[in-house]
Amino acid sequence: MPSVAVEGVTKRFDGRTVLDAIDLPIESGQIVAIMGSSGGGKTTLLKCISGLIVPEEGKIEVDGIDVLANPEEARQHMGMVFQSAALFDFLSVRDNVLFGVRRRRALSIKEAETLTAELLERVGLVEAADRLPSELSGGMKKRVGIARAFALKPRVILYDEPTTGLDPVTAYTIDQLIVELRRDLGVTSLVVSHDVSSVFRVADRVAFLDKGKLVFDGAPDKFRESDHPAIRELIDRAEAKSL
């Protein structure tokens, strides 16, 4: 049984097809990069998987749970890291994470504090726990979002452009964190990205969406050699930049 099963998913907005019969079965513990042009449907696909958007057609299962029939239950098995971390300005890093933990889990304050300390350790924020969001770098804010997403000990984690807007060195540290979390927790990870070098660092597999269609699904080295025009352009541009 795959950890995430996307079958024939079609999503339309105002009659426009944004996802066109997408099939994406994902094995447990895999890191899959989802790439594609801007407006290609990447965020929409993550939102369908997380049950926030309901597709017109298709089937989605997470950990064997039918997301369309039981979105609440399925969400207990998933964590989501959105592009903006949406932190409370007036709460410290620790309290932002604690708030996320208590909102998602019915724990005593003591248990919630213990879990919060574990999560801060896991994402490398112990030192910054007393800071306010205004005192954090972009990379640290991202880590707070990741800590909160792990509050439910999810089997599946969805990252929407986790390194966008970060400088290359910080982006690298977030990539490393994504790899570590998979290694230590075995979490199945879907990572939307448009950063080719980041994808080659983290992904076991690449899925490329072009105009709502899945035009490539395979290993990173096959992706590098693909002759699909949109993929070729992306790879050639990235290689020219790194020369």
Ligand X SMILES: Nc1ncnc2c1ncn2[C@@H]1O[C@H](COP(=O)(O)OP(=O)(O)O)[C@@H](O)[C@H]1O
Q: Which of residues 127-186 bind Mg ion (CB under 5 A)?
A: none
| Cα–Cα distance measured from residue 118 to residue 147, given in angstroms and rounded to the nearest whole number | 9
- Shortest gap between Cβ of 57 and Mg ion (angstroms)? 21
Window 11-50: contact mask with ligand X (x via CB under 6 A): --x----x-----------------x-xxxxxxx------
- Shortest gap between Cβ of 122 and Mg ion (angstroms)? 26
CA 44 to chain centre: 12
**Could you tell me if 59 and 50 are in contact, meaning their C-beta atoms sit under 8 angstroms apart?**
no
- Which residue, judged by CB position, is nearest to Mg ion in the bound state? 43
Residue 218 touches which of Mg ion, ligand X, none (Cβ within 5-8 Å per kind)? none
Sort 215 into a burial class: Cβ within 10 Å, 0-12 / 13-18 / 19+. middle
Q: Is 90 in the site for ligand X (CB under 6 A)?
A: no
Two tokens, residue 161: 């452009």
Window 31-50: contact mask with Mg ion (x via CB under 5 A): -----------xx-------
- Shortest gap between Cβ of 217 and ligand X (angstroms)? 16
3-state secondary structure of 53: coil
Residue 238: phi and psi, rounded to 5, are -65, -40
> What does the binding site for ligand X look like in residue numbers (CB under 6 A)?
13, 18, 36, 38-44
